[in-house]
Amino acid sequence: MSKADVNSISLLKSIFTETRIHIPDDMKDKVIAALKYYYDGGYYTDEDIISIVKVGSITPEDFTKITGKPYPADSSNGSTGSNGSNGSNPSK
């Protein structure tokens, strides 16, 4: 992967994890597939995907689609679709 590709991934990561981005319904599957591709490639971590859920761009169910793991109960603070956790474990 070129340095330009890595810089693009870093930029997208910072945008996705810090800003709520409205993803149109007809683009949702493509965005989830792209996030999964970069997650599987090691460019995004669980914490990155949790951050994207917390800003509201994707759901906890999307987290599971991307990572293959259940959304952590202690990570629901600030996210939509909360699972009832008190979210008292700030991981950063």
Considering its fold, how many domains does the chain have in total? 1
42 falls within a domain = yes
Question: pTM for the full model?
Answer: 0.72
Which residues constitute the domain of residue 49?
24-79
Establish if 90 belongs to a structural domain.
Answer: no
Dist CA 46 CA 62 (whole Å): 12
Quote the pLDDT of residue 34.
Answer: 92
Residue 74 lies in a domain: yes
pLDDT tens per residue across all 92 residues of the chain: 777 677 777 777 888 888 888 889 999 999 999 999 999 999 999 999 999 999 999 999 999 999 999 999 887 654 443 333 333 334 43
- Domain assignment of residue 19, yes or no: no
pLDDT for 77 equals 54
Residue 84 lies in a domain: no
75 is a domain residue:
yes
Determine contact, residues 67/49, Cβ cutoff 8 Å. Answer: yes
Pull the structure tokens for residue 61: 């169910």
- Residue 31: per-residue pLDDT: 92
Domain contains 87: no
Q: In this structure, is residue 12 part of a structural domain?
A: no
